Structure formats: C-alpha cells, structure tokens
Amino acid sequence: MNPSQKYLLDNQQLEAGQRFDALSVLFNPSTFRHAQALGLTAGWRVWEVGAGGPSVPQYWASQAGPSGHVLATDIDTSWLGGDDSTYEVRRHDVGSEPPPAGFFDLVHARLVLVHVTKRAQALAAMVNAVRPGGWLLLEEADPALQPLVCPDESGAEQKLANKLKHGFRKLMAERGVDLAYGRTLPRLLREAGLGKVQSDAFFPMGGPVCTELERATVEQIRDALIGGGIATQTEVEQHLGNLRTGRLDLATSPMVSAWGQKPMTS
C-alpha cells in the first residue's frame, strides 16, 4: 500500500484507545444531548456506525433498554468489546457493504465519513437504513473552520504546536480526508431527502482532556510527521514536553452535528 493511502490513525495502536477515551469525554455529552432532543427512548433500534470504542453504543443501549436493539459496527471492532450483551457488535464497512437488514429509529456516525473513500455511498447506506419517521445524526470535524490547535498563538510553544497540527492536517488531506466536510452535512442531508434538518457546531478549548487528545494523537502519528519531513524528532519531543507542562490552551477542530428526519411514506 502506498504510504499516502494508509490510514493515519490506525485502530490497532495503543494510542487509538487513548484517543477514543478522550474523544468520548469531550464530545459524548453533545452527542447524547442531540439524540435525546430527537426523542431517543426505550424500544428504539439504533445503528452506531464506525463506533470505535464502546461508550456511545453503551449509552444507546442504556436508553433503548431491553425492548430496543443497538448495533455497533466498525471495520475494526477490537475496541468494542464483543462480550457486552447490551448491544450487538458486527464488523462492517459502511463505504463498501450494504446497510444491515431492517430499519432503525436512529442512525448515528461521528468522525466516520471524512475517513471513508466512498462517502456518498456510505451516506446513502445510512439514509436507507433509517425507518420512515426516524432520524440520521451525523457529526464530523471541520478543521478548515478553525485550523489551529492553539488559537492563542502567543509564543514559541504555541507556534510549534500549530506547526505540527498543520502537518497533521496535510497528512490527512493526502489520505483523502476532506478537511471542510463538516460544514456540508446540512446540505447533504437535505439533498438525501431528509426533512427537519438542523445543525450546530461545538469545539472544546483548554483543559486536561484536550491535552490528552493532542498527546495521544501526536504519539500515534510521530513516525509520519518525522518521515514526512514535517517535524524533526527533536521538535516532536519538545512539543510532547510542552504538553506535559499544562501551559498550552489547546482546542479541537469544530465538530459539526447535523440531523434530519426521514419522511413518512404516504
């Protein structure tokens, strides 16, 4: 495989689990708030696409209860815990395989579509899986809306952090990630025939969890940063040392959430 085509954030690496944990702390409250507003309740059938870790499907299962059903899928299910009887785990590639049989009251995907080569096909599969009257909730980062990890670039430490983040984004773009995809979600949902489309955006800034997410990400991509000539080993180690001081006010990319309802059939 061409290095430029390799998935940069490999789920087999230890840091993947650390990233999943940090992303869950940062973004689960917003995700769950949106789902509750859509009416998530006992008895719902929910498909969690590209689940990554277990925290989101576990929450869906706690809300859907024994009378509901939660299906968590991913191309790599190693972090999902196949022995959790509260939800079903299945290996599935939403970009190349048909959607699971049956219909769902809620289909949710977070940080999935930007990494899928066949995005349009994946989106169509998710739309097709929503029952009439059900909801599709998509959440994708939009780094182009706010490209800095240190919005307050006040000194050398912040400038180094932003240099590495720009390099990370360059590597992602080389692998087919659309860095401005998040903002397109409302339009894409309308074009897919969904109604009652709404959206918002959210990005945390500051605090230990943002620092942990940055540390795990840099550790995971350090070889690509160095091998790609984006940063030296000394610069990567310096940045990791700067993170340990707790002096950097770090931000994530804006997470755009968009949701729409599938019309009732006549």
Residue 93: give its domain's CATH number: 3.40.50.150
Q: Is residue 1 part of a domain?
A: no
User: Do residues 103 and 162 both lie within one domain?
Assistant: no
Same domain, 18 and 46: yes
Phi, psi of 229 (to 5 degrees): 70, 15
Query: Is the whole-model pTM more than 0.75?
Result: yes
Contacts of 188 (CB under 8 A, 6+ apart): 123, 258
Q: Which residues contact 83 (CB under 8 A, 6 or more apart)?
A: none
Asked whether residue 172 falls in the same domain as residue 185, the answer is no
Residues 199-245: tens digit of each pLDDT: 999 999 999 999 999 999 999 999 999 999 999 999 999 999 999 99
Length of the chain: 266
Residue 3: pLDDT band with limits 50, 70, 90:
very low
Whether 152 and 111 map to the same domain: the answer is no
The answer to whether residue 91 is domain-embedded is yes
Owning domain of residue 119: 10-143+180-203+254-266
CB 163 within 8 A of CB 231: yes
- 9 pLDDT above the threshold of 80: no
Average predicted confidence (pLDDT) for the chain? 91
Alpha-carbon span 221 to 235, nearest angstrom: 13
Can you tell me the distance from the alpha carbon of 55 to that of 20, in angstroms, rounded to the nearest whole number?
Answer: 9
87 Cα distance to chain centroid: 20
Give me 5's structure tokens: 């085509």
- 130 and 92 part of one domain: yes
Could you tell me if 27 and 76 lie in one domain?
yes
Residue 107 lies in a domain: yes
Taking residues 87-94, what's their average pLDDT?
94
Residue bearing tokens 């939660």 = 70
Report the pLDDT averaged over residues 110-123: 92
**Total count of domains within the chain:** 2
For 24, other C-beta atoms within 10 Å of its C-beta total 19
Task: Tell me: do 117 and 14 sit in the same domain.
Answer: yes
Distance CA 187, CA 87 (A): 31
Are both 70 and 136 inside the same structural domain?
yes
Same domain, 220 and 243: yes
Residues 231, 121 share a domain = no
The DSSP secondary structure of 56-122, one letter per residue, reads HHHHHHHHH-TTSEEEEEES--TTT-TT-TTSEEEE--TTTSPPPSS-EEEEEEES-GGG-SSHHHH
* Token pair belonging to 222: 């350090």
Q: What is the dihedral of CA 128, 26, 213, 7, to 10 degrees?
A: 0
Higher pLDDT, 45 or 17: 45
Q: Is residue 136 part of a domain?
A: yes
